[in-house]
Structure 1
């Protein structure tokens, strides 16, 4: 099996350098790499060129359209039997393609997704953000957990589709705001088999500060409403939970202002929830500092997503704004 690895890139030359360095270490070597520079001001042309002797890598520069359409640009030029999509802020374990190749031959998946994890080189903040995005107590395990809730939808930081899928379904029709979930829904609807490859993990850096993380998760909350506008039946009760949690915390603050008896119950519930996150993160990361930062990251994950969801639900669903 020959893989085409497609990486959209926008103003992140340092990230693509680190990602390509990990691809030079792959134990499975039947692959090409297509780097799609999406109208960047800080381009990575010279960095990509420095890997020409180590990788079958091609560099393309195109006008800025967003990551979804940049992946389509790569699909159109890919030679592989299977297209693998990575975000530029990922590090790829050396046995990644070997694991994927073996799994696909044994299970015959038309499309797949894999989990993400925190690399040992990540900062404490990045490890806390990684926990918030993968914990069963925050995202319910939907981002690559074996026991995820509901139908599995691969995420574009670590996703693969067969050439047969692309030829029948096409590429992305959204360039952002939930484009990967929308794409996987169409793959499902066309009768293709999608599955999780549990061991095909990547190390996903995500954001390096809590302010950047807030902006990203607020965007994700809005993206869920964007997906709903295309596929109304996909909006489930579980997608409202961050909004309910956000409204609950706002209510708790208001109850404390007025010193009502109900405030003590709400305070206790909030305290118990974040204590659960603290001790769970401490157990996983073996660090009190990361456990404390995980509480902050989880609070941001819930409230940022919840506020983004509420904002666009109010505007686009209640008031029908485009």
Structure 2
């Protein structure tokens, strides 16, 4: 099988070098790389040149349209039997394509997704963010999990679709705000087989500090409402959890300020949650610092998502604004 790896890039030349270096080490060699610069001011042209004689690599520069439509640009030019999408801030384990190829030979999937993990080279903050996004104690626990709630929806940081899917379903119809989930649901509704390949993980850097992480997750909360506008049945009870958590934190704060009777109960619940996050992260990361930062990351994730979710739920569902 010939794979086309499609990578949108926007003002992140510092990240693409590590990704391309990881692709050089792939044990499965039958692939091409399409790197699409999406209207970047700070482009990766010089870095890409150093890989042109090492990889089957094509580099494109186009005006800014957003990540969804940039992936479509790659689909239109890809030569592969199967298209693989990565975010530019990923590092790919050397057996990734070998694992995907073997898995598809044994159990064909028209589209697949894989989990993400933290690499040893990541900063402590990045490791904490990675933990939070994959923890069973936050909404991140349903990502990359075979036992997740409902139909599995691949995410575009680590996602593959067959050429037949592209020819039948086309590409992304929205460029941001949940474009990968919309695409996954549409593929599923057309009768294609979608699944998780648990061993096909990538190391995903995500954001380098908590301020950037907050902005990203707030956007994710808003994205869930955008998906609801396309597919109302896809809004599940679990998607309300961050909003309930955020409201609960606000109530706890007010209860403590005014010394309400429920304040001790609220505090006890918060302490239990903190301890669960701390010790679970400690068992996984073997670091007190990462465990402490994981608590901060978990609170940021839930509150940012909850605020973004409530913001657009109020505007687009209650007030019915477009």
Do both proteins adopt the same fold according to a TM-score greater than 0.5, normalized to the shorter chain?
yes
Report what 1:169 is aligned to: 169
Residue 143 of structure 1 deviates from its aligned partner by: 1.3
Residue 140 of structure 1 deviates from its aligned partner by: 5.3
Q: How many angstroms apart in 2 are the aligned matches of 1:250 and 1:154?
A: 33
Residue 18 of structure 1 deviates from its aligned partner by: 1.0
Tell me the TM-score normalised to structure 2 length: 0.99
Report what 2:75 is aligned to: 75
| Aligned ranges 1:176-255 → 2 under 5 Å | 176-255=176-255
Alpha carbons 1:128, 1:290 under 8 Å: kept: yes
- SS of 2:51's equivalent? coil
Residue 240 of structure 1 deviates from its aligned partner by: 0.3
Q: How many angstroms apart in 1 are the aligned matches of 2:161 and 2:223?
A: 22
Superposed CA deviations along residues 243-283 of structure 1, whole A, max 9, x for unmatched, are: 00000000000000110110100110111011101010000
Report what 2:33 is aligned to: 33
- SS of 1:137's equivalent? coil
Higher mean C-alpha deviation, range 72-81 or range 38-47: 38-47
Alpha carbons 2:256, 2:263 under 8 Å: kept: yes
Residue 141 of structure 1 deviates from its aligned partner by: 2.3
Superposed CA deviations along residues 131-157 of structure 1, whole A, max 9, x for unmatched, are: 000001102522102322221000000
- SS of 1:141's equivalent? helix
Distance 1:129 1:140, change over 3 A: closer
Tell me the TM-score normalised to structure 1 length: 0.99
Q: How many angstroms apart in 2 are the aligned matches of 1:117 and 1:123?
A: 13
Alpha carbons 1:140, 1:148 under 8 Å: kept: no
5+ residue gaps, structure 1: none
Report what 1:291 is aligned to: 291
Distance 1:140 1:18, change over 3 A: closer
Q: How many angstroms apart in 1 are the aligned matches of 2:116 and 2:57?
A: 24
Residue 284 of structure 1 deviates from its aligned partner by: 0.5
CA RMSD of aligned residues (A): 0.7
Give yes or no for the alignment of 1:315 onto 2:315: yes
Give yes or no for the alignment of 1:98 onto 2:98: yes
- SS of 2:109's equivalent? coil
Report what 1:11 is aligned to: 11
5+ residue gaps, structure 2: none
The 4+ residue runs of structure 1 with deviation greater than 2 A are none
Residue 46 of structure 1 deviates from its aligned partner by: 1.9
